[in-house]
Structures are given as C-alpha cells and as structure tokens.
C-alpha cells in the first residue's frame, strides 16, 4: 500500500483543540479580533481558495485557554448571491465547525437590522453556544451603549475593544466556561479489527497465527455480543483488539442458514470495528458473500483489508499475486481503495505485514486534512469539471471541510444537495483520495444544502 500519510505535509494535520468561530456582519471587527487572538502565532500564511482573506484559521490563546479560531468574514459566496448568502454561509460554517460561536456586533454603530438577521439565523441553525460580543467599546460611553444589544435576546454583550486590546480577559473567561475540556493529545483507543469471512477460509487459524507469535496477550474476554470474542493484544507498543467471529459456526447447529448467519455475525462484528479484515481462501477466490460483506464495510465507512489466506497453496510469484489482485479488485469495484494482503495462517507468511497494514489503515482513518488545502483542491477540481445541473438549477459548491475522523467525513456546503449527481460525488471523492490518500478506508462525503437560495 502506498504511504498515504506521507502525502500530507505535517502542517495540514490539525490538532483536536476546541474551535471558536467569529461571525458578524462586515466591518464589525472580526478580522481585527482574529488577529488579536492569533497574535504572533502567524507563521503559516495560506492562500485560501474561495475566500477573501489569507487566513481563516489560527491558533489562538486567551489566558490559559488555547483554541482554534475561524474568521468567517473571509468566506466568499458566489459573487452574484450577495450579502444574505454571505451571512448564511458564515453561520453554516461556524455551526459545522465550531464548539462555540462568537457573534460580533459593533458598539460604535449600534444595533442594526443585519445584526438581527445574524441573530435569527444563529437561533434557527445552531445548538452551539453563542457568545454575544460588542466590539469597538473603546470608552465608557460606548461600553454603556452596549446595553441595547440586549434586544438580540442573547443575553448581555461582553464589551471589548479588539483594536485597543480591552475586555478580552472577560471573553476568555466566558469561552473557557463554554468550551469542552480537551485532553492534551488524547491517547487514541485500541484499534479494533474484525476478522470476517466465509466458513473455512481460515479465520481461526489466522487469529491463532496472530496471537501465537511472541506478543503480549493483554486479556481475552467475551465480547459484548455472545457470539464474537474480543481479544486485546499489543503489537510493538500499539493496542489492538481482534473481534473474532470464527468460533461461531461451531457453537450451534446453524445448518443450512450458515451463510446468511455468518453475514449477520460479520455485520455485528464490523459495527464495533474500525477495520474489517475480510479473509478469502486463495484456492477459492471471491464469492458472492464476500462482496456482500465488503459492501457492508464500505457502506458503514469502515476500513477494509482483503486478506488472501492459504497463499502457501499457491505459487508465490509476483505474477500470481498480480493476477489474483486484478481478479479481486475487478469484483470489488465499490472499494478500489482496499489493499490486499497475501498471507498464510499456516506458515505465518506475512502475518506481521498484515498487522502493520491494519495499523496503517487505522492511522489513515484518523488523518485530518486542513480546510485551506481541502478548499484549494475542491475549487481546482470543480474548475476542471463543473457539475451539471438540472434545467436551470446549477449546483454550487461553496466550501468544504473535514468535520471528523474515523471515518474521515467531509461536509460540502452547496446551494442544493439534490443537484449533486452520484457520479460527481465519485469525482470529488477520487480527487480527495488522489491528493490526500485515505487508502484502506471508506471516506464519507456529506452534501449539505441551504433551505433557500
């Protein structure tokens, strides 16, 4: 498998800090506040496609609090759509990405109808905490005047002056009370591998081969379902859990329903797993049921490795492997990203390699792509081939962001999600994979439309 991870420059991977988004109509001082919060930490200047500013994101610090900040004022909807679209886009991005939203108003000009619009949108769209902040409260008179923002029904505004660096400690205190506690570099949990496949392909032999080698067995206890067994082990300092469905068949008289039953069990095991190891028997090749299970893995957005077991029965040449791979991938059309591992549970051939591959897929699943790079790619991809519309309706993709990992999930903000054709989804997915890798795992693309134009 290609080292997908290495294709992303380190700066593109962002840490799991809480995120604060600044929203508000133009000229209230969003960018001034952003710069104040980010302070000297402005080492990276990114040219962000689809925005008016160099930087939308920054690492911020207020007192003890460290967080990521987003200046939504730099977002730029398609030119013709004007101001209401701008505000909506800001709010949508803020709601999707932030743990808390700073709604900035201007104590100099006072309350405007545009503020009311932002306030209403925030109420309609967001369940995130909103902090009302009145900027440009440079002196006592303006600080007193902030009382009128009460009418936005968001509580008392925190009066600040971003320009003169006043009131920011109050803002810090409020944010600290609202933001989730983020454990420093949270230790990732054990990677969960489900070993699935038809009866007799060698699942239990494989589990034994994995466990049999000189590894520390941490514990072996019954899984959460009575039918699958979870075994925790350590491989070169990394924790793994094997979810093993092998023993099932032997437990009851399953009889004729065995195939269907094992698919059901596989699904249960996969639900609790990060990566599915779909075991095939090299002497038999791919069966319909294997495709069924692989399809389930893809639909559940899990990682998938196709394990070609009993390779000791084959002639182990490059040519043979390539031929086999071609056959398997030709049938697994919906998961062209799944790597193959040629192993023998009997001789131990490549069993270590399989575990290393699984750990790699686990890492790929927790990879994060920076929003700036993602948007640059998306804009380029769209420019190369624009989505076709339905009649007069033309799909417009404004902004994309990776909202989560395991599975890697990308949200696209579009005018109307129903206009995005399946083939265009594929096209975007392929572009993301080409640039950022994600080999070995399904990725999720979500298209979110606005209610109205």
Q: Name the residues that contact ligand GDP, by CB under 6 A.
A: 24, 26-32, 73, 135-136, 138, 161-164, 197, 199-205, 246, 309-310, 312-313, 344-346
Report in angstroms how near the CB of residue 427 gets to ligand GDP at its nearest: 34
Nearer to ligand GDP, 314 or 445 (CB): 314
Nearer to ligand GDP, 4 or 196 (CB): 196
Nearer to ligand GDP, 197 or 437 (CB): 197
Report in angstroms how near the CB of residue 323 gets to ligand GDP at its nearest: 19
Q: Residue 85 has which token pair?
A: 């679209």
Report in angstroms how near the CB of residue 159 gets to ligand GDP at its nearest: 10
Report in angstroms how near the CB of residue 73 gets to ligand GDP at its nearest: 4
CA dihedral 268, 274, 278, 279 (to 10 degrees): -100
DSSP-assigned beta bridge partners for residue 10: none
Nearer to ligand GDP, 139 or 418 (CB): 139
Q: Smallest Cα–Cα separation from 190: which of 125, 265, 241, 114?
A: 241
The answer to whether residues 375 and 21 touch, using CB atoms and an 8 Å cutoff, is no
Report in angstroms how near the CB of residue 371 gets to ligand GDP at its nearest: 18
Nearer to ligand GDP, 265 or 302 (CB): 265
DSSP-assigned beta bridge partners for residue 393: 390
Rounded Cα distance, 197 and 407, in Å: 22
Report in angstroms how near the CB of residue 407 gets to ligand GDP at its nearest: 27
Nearer to ligand GDP, 87 or 370 (CB): 87
Report in angstroms how near the CB of residue 53 gets to ligand GDP at its nearest: 8
Nearer to ligand GDP, 296 or 311 (CB): 311
Measured at CB, which residue is nearest to ligand GDP? 202
Which residue has 């069924």 as its token pair? 292
């Amino acid at each position: 498998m290609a080292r997908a991870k290495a294709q992303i420059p380190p700066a593109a991977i962002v840490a799991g800090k809480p995120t604060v988004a600044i929203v508000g109509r133009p000229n209230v001082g969003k960018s001034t506040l952003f710069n104040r919060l980010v302070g000297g930490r402005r080492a990276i200047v990114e040219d962000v496609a689809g925005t008016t500013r160099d930087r939308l994101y920054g690492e911020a610090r207020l007192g003890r609090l460290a967080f990521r900040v987003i200046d939504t004022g730099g977002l730029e909807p398609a030119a013709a759509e004007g101001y209401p679209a701008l505000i909506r886009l800001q709010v949508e991005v803020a709601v999707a990405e932030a743990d808390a939203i700073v709604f900035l108003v201007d104590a100099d000009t006072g309350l405007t109808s545009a503020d009311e619009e932002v306030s209403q949108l925030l109420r309609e769209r967001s369940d995130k905490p909103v902090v009302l902040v009145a900027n440009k409260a440079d002196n006592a008179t303006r600080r007193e005047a902030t009382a009128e923002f009460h009418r936005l029904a968001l509580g008392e505004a925190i009066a600040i002056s971003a320009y003169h660096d006043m009131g920011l400690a109050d803002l810090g205190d409020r944010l600290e009370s609202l933001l989730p506690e983020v454990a420093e570099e949270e230790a990732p949990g054990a990677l969960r591998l489900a070993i699935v496949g038809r009866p007799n392909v060698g699942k239990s032999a494989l589990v034994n081969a994995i466990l049999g080698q000189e590894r520390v067995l941490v514990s072996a206890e019954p899984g959460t379902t009575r039918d699958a067994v979870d075994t925790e082990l350590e491989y070169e300092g990394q924790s793994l859990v094997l979810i093993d469905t092998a023993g099932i068949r032997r437990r009851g008289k399953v009889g004729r329903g065995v195939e269907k039953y094992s698919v059901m069990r596989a699904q249960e095991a996969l639900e609790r797993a990060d990566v599915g190891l779909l075991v095939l028997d090299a002497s038999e090749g791919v069966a319909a049921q294997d495709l069924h299970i692989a399809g389930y893995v893809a639909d559940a957005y899990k990682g998938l490795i196709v394990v070609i077991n009993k390779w000791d029965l084959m002639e182990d040449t490059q040519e043979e492997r390539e031929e086999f791979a071609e056959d398997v991938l030709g049938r697994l059309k919906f998961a062209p990203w799944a790597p193959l591992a040629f192993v023998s549970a009997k001789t131990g051939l490549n069993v270590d390699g399989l575990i290393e591959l699984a750990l790699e897929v686990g890492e790929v699943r927790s990879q994060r792509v920076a929003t700036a790079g993602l948007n640059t790619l998306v804009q380029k991809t769209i420019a190369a081939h624009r989505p076709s519309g339905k009649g007069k309706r033309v799909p417009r993709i404004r902004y994309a962001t990776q909202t989560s990992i395991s599975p890697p999930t990308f949200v696209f903000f579009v005018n109307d999600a129903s206009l995005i054709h399946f083939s265009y989804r594929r096209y975007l997915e392929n572009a993301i994979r080409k640039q950022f890798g994600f080999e070995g795992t399904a990725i999720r693309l979500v298209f979110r439309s606005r209610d109205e134009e």
